[in-house]
Structure 1
Amino acid sequence: MARRLPVGIQSFKDIRTKNFLYVDKTMYIWKLINSSKSYFLSRPRRFGKSLFISTLESYFSGERELFTGLYIEEKENEKGGYAWAKYPIISFYLSGGDYNSPVGLSDTLGNVIDGCIVRYGLDKERVTGETLPVRFKNLIQCLYEKTGRQVVVLVDEYDKPLLSTMISNTKQEEENRQLYKGFFSVLKDMDGYLKFVFFTGVTKFSKVSIFSDLNQLSDISMDDEYSGICGITEDELEDNFGPEIEELAHKQNLPHEECLSELAKMYDGYHFSADGTGVYNPFSLLSAFHRRDFGSYWFETGTPDILIKKLETSRMPLYKLSEGVVATESALMNYRVDDPDPIPLFYQSGYLTICDYDREFRLYTLKLPNNEVKYGFFDSLVPSVLGQSEEENPASLRSMLMDLRAGKPDSFITRIRSLFASIPYPEGKTPVYEGEWSRQLYLILSLMGAYTQCEVHMATGRADCVVKTPDYIYVFEFKLDAPVEDAIRQIDEKGYTISYSADSRKLYKVGVVFSTEKRNVTDVRIVEG
């Protein structure tokens, strides 16, 4: 009988009482409570932040029965009479709510305060005030006085009210920001009343007052020792999911090692610090085990429009997302809404991850973490870059790939021409420039890589694209407003085909010229081997 996998379940209590599989993360709770008491953690969506907040909530509620057999049980029991102490808790779960409404955020915060009054049996008259910040302050003081214990404040997805309004309602986003400025800054001067404070979010907004006024928050987002706090590490995968790996391998007719390799290519590759451990996307990994298939589950939950708009505005070449981009630590840890650089938001949202670190210059190199992110994100770019969805496109990417598999490069080029002819350009727009042409072509070729071996470079010194099918190898070189002979000559002079000379597959060298005036392919040369 298959074990119960907690796909999308964010309640620690539900997981532990309803016999769901749980990957023990309580070691991190022990580290946190014995190091400091006020923290901020940034991680992408669906990465387990809410579950970790829920685990903290159960721990500080003294629910020892939920922690049987976990790391923290033995550590906590060593405290003797001080073990499993129960503290008053104020929990803000902010992922839900209509934050485009003028009263959406204030109602959510107010409801949390009202709920605490009822749960702890407080005198409602003592938790009054003309403003929400005053009520929040009075609530903390009343909880401390009634219980005789310091208060725990847990805030999950603090940035949802800002992210959900940044594009659709900038006026409301600013009002939500101002409300935050007064509300959570209350914590700054209440240290004596507080036992533990923990904030989570996708992004760290540098101009939100909780990070300026509330400067005692320790940001652990890029700390090596907390790199595995959310997500599934390689060790956790093999220690906890043996039966699920075998079931998936059996369903996909793969050997054990090939199944592990495919899981890594699809869902692994996330690094949130310079030297910390890498992790798998937990939502996608659990979904793959649940459905016994390698799907793009993270992307089924949607791609934020803000990412696509940021990329459109920046005009950053798409190949850099795969090849690597460079950023400073301060840029990665702080996000400014008015910053045209898309890299910090892409990193904090989980679409780019750390792949290298230069200690001398303190620079991080980032790239797309895995195939799920790469092909899922590129697919979401099709409407904005090509002007239509792939399903609507008469020269579909799958048809192009079928041409190459059948050894029909001429038909492939015909479909390329059809595709570029169908891309709409607004009236008055200047002729397409090299960056735009490369952007569109790179997207097409990269998405083909989801179905075959397609190495796309689009950079000087390497073949622009190499496509490998079971029977053919194609080496492409693309030129803009240049003789097609230059493309073939570059393939030969640079020796792009040398490494394939001993391959039994049929080899084609394909030179392609794009015209900025005609906005399409105008010349092609196909040379066998």
Structure 2
Amino acid sequence: MCFHNMHCIAQLKIQFMPNSIIKYCFANCPESCKFRKSNAICGDKKAVIYALCKGLTRIFISRPQPFGKSYLISVYKEFFETGTCDYFGLDIDKRRIDRPYPVVRLDFSFCKHQKTIENFRAVFNTFITSAFSPLGFKFDPTHASIRFIDQLKYWLNTLEPNSIVLLIDDYDVLLTTHLDDPELFNQVSRVLGEFYAAIKECEGCLRFLFITGETRIGFDGIFGGFNIFEDITFDPDYGTLFGFTADEIESNFRDDLKNAEAVLNLSRKDLLNEMRRHYGGFSFDSEAETHIFCLSSVLQFLSHPEKGFQPYWHASEGERSELWNFIKSKALSSPDIFKARTSITMDELEGFSSGQNISLKALLVQTGCLTIKSKLNMAEVELGCPNKEVEHFLEQLCAEEKLKRGSPMH
């Protein structure tokens, strides 16, 4: 069994899952072997996935952590490396790009938690060298007068136009890890800024650039003047790109829904309504016309319906505790921030931040704690908590913060 798929399933905290759910995980983790040939379940994202790589070529999108961004990165990696998608039953396997391309995939979570800028720079440079070396990049440390980033730029400039694909997952994790240390945050931001400046200067070599993040923290600092890509985060055309729609759940998980109905003694209508109340209600659409369910929560619920509607949201948030500590320190000692409906302008919601000055409401949307409920007018949208699961998670955060501060509980 492929280690990559085992890792993805472990991330979802799913064990002893029904076969259809296992097949869904394998179908969305394409760096595997025989499982790609199986009768796999796939969410109906094929048209949008294909349109993105055939149309837009420089793309940025942010989504909360448990929505499957890494799955899509894996899809694009295989699509460009092979020129097609090797999925049984997925129409995209009949659609091809012009030719296969070498792909560089960067997951910056491997570089986090360095305590000094010297350690960070050393680990970061080694990571970048390792990622680009299969394509021919060699860093020569004997040329002390030529900086690492300059050697990378020189090599990128030797590449043919439109010759490589660059996929960057969780661009912001290196910054949110250091939110409690503003000095180190700024130093890391400068290192990242140099890297992205090199990518921009040499972007002619890129056939396709796809960048994901959970937040937009540090964006101004590291992407200053980086105006070569399209931000599709709140574009209605891509509102259902991550997560499940209700139709996708009904069409892809028929047997699992029947099992859950029997276990919980619920009708199909009541089951879906309860799933929506607990795991749905998300909208990343400026028009508030599209709505989705949290991917990982739905998979975990359907794998163990006998446990009822458990709260699975951010079950492993210890990995990003710095981000949640930052959020709690700003406002989450009061539950009013997510229980009461509020409004925000799209300019504020779409705005990027250089760090500590990020809008709290915008940050809560980026992390999934709040979501777009309705469009109020041309400039504003209404925000609210998406569902019971997230509300439970935030109540826990508030309780922890109150205990920490010695405040009386409500």
Same fold (TM over 0.5): yes
TM-score, length of structure 2 as denominator length: 0.83
What is the CA-CA distance between 1:63 and the residue it aligns to? 5.5
1:11 aligns with 2:29: yes
1:300 aligns with 2:315: yes
1:45 aligns with 2:61: no
1:84–1:283 distance in 2 versus 1, CA, 3 Å: farther
The residue type paired with residue 187 of structure 1 is: I
Q: Which deviates more from structure 2 when the two are superposed, residues 372-381 or residues 219-228?
A: 372-381
> Residues of 1 paired with 2:200 and 2:176: CA distance?
24
What is the CA-CA distance between 1:352 and the residue it aligns to? 0.4
CA RMSD of aligned residues (A): 3.0
Contact in 1 for aligned 2:297/2:313 (Cα 8 Å):
yes
Q: Which residue of 1 aligns with 2:169?
A: 156
Contact in 1 for aligned 2:139/2:152 (Cα 8 Å):
no
Residues 294-327 of structure 1 show CA distances to partners (whole Å, capped at 9, x for unaligned) of 2211232127454455455447852341221111
1:345 aligns with 2:360: no
Contact in 1 for aligned 2:113/2:177 (Cα 8 Å):
yes
> Residues of 2 paired with 1:305 and 1:350: CA distance?
16
Pairing 1:147-226 to 2, within 5 Å after superposition: 150-167=163-180, 169-205=181-217, 207-226=219-238
1:60–1:308 distance in 2 versus 1, CA, 3 Å: same
Contact in 2 for aligned 1:40/1:219 (Cα 8 Å):
yes
Pairing 1:312-461 to 2, within 5 Å after superposition: 312-314=329-331, 318-333=335-350, 334-339=352-357, 341-360=359-378, 362-385=379-402, 387=403, 424=406, 440-441=409-410
Contact in 1 for aligned 2:332/2:397 (Cα 8 Å):
no
What is the CA-CA distance between 1:8 and the residue it aligns to? 7.4
What is the CA-CA distance between 1:202 and the residue it aligns to? 0.7
The residue type paired with residue 94 of structure 1 is: F
Select the structure with the greater relative contact order (CA < 8 A; seq sep ≥ 6).
2
Contact in 2 for aligned 1:133/1:184 (Cα 8 Å):
no
Contact in 2 for aligned 1:89/1:152 (Cα 8 Å):
yes
> Residues of 1 paired with 2:142 and 2:82: CA distance?
25
1:249 aligns with 2:269: no
Residues 176-209 of structure 1 show CA distances to partners (whole Å, capped at 9, x for unaligned) of 1010111111122223211111110011136534
What is the CA-CA distance between 1:90 and the residue it aligns to? 1.6
Higher strand share: 1
What is the CA-CA distance between 1:121 and the residue it aligns to? 5.2
Gaps of 5+ in 1: 77-82, 389-422, 426-436, 442-529
Q: Which residue of 2 aligns with 1:491?
A: none
| Aligned-residue identity in percent | 21
The residue type paired with residue 166 of structure 2 is: V
What is the CA-CA distance between 1:37 and the residue it aligns to? 1.1
What is the CA-CA distance between 1:127 and the residue it aligns to? 12
1:45–1:257 distance in 2 versus 1, CA, 3 Å: same
Pairing 1:269-288 to 2, within 5 Å after superposition: 269-275=281-287, 276-288=289-301
Contact in 2 for aligned 1:181/1:208 (Cα 8 Å):
no
Q: Which residue of 2 aligns with 1:514?
A: none
> Residues of 2 paired with 1:105 and 1:126: CA distance?
14
How many residue pairs were aligned? 381
1:323–1:89 distance in 2 versus 1, CA, 3 Å: same
What is the CA-CA distance between 1:20 and the residue it aligns to? 5.4
Gaps of 5+ in 2: 1-17
TM-score, length of structure 1 as denominator length: 0.65
1:104–1:137 distance in 2 versus 1, CA, 3 Å: same
> Residues of 1 paired with 2:115 and 2:326: CA distance?
23
Higher helix share: 2
The residue type paired with residue 300 of structure 1 is: A
Contact in 2 for aligned 1:48/1:231 (Cα 8 Å):
yes
Q: Which residue of 2 aligns with 1:101?
A: 115
Residues 445-483 of structure 1 show CA distances to partners (whole Å, capped at 9, x for unaligned) of xxxxxxxxxxxxxxxxxxxxxxxxxxxxxxxxxxxxxxx
Residues 375-420 of structure 1 show CA distances to partners (whole Å, capped at 9, x for unaligned) of 12102221222x27xxxxxxxxxxxxxxxxxxxxxxxxxxxxxxxx
> Residues of 1 paired with 2:216 and 2:238: CA distance?
17
What is the CA-CA distance between 1:216 and the residue it aligns to? 1.1
Contact in 1 for aligned 2:79/2:85 (Cα 8 Å):
no
Contact in 2 for aligned 1:39/1:198 (Cα 8 Å):
yes
Higher Rg: 1
What is the CA-CA distance between 1:33 and the residue it aligns to? 2.3
> Residues of 1 paired with 2:365 and 2:304: CA distance?
28
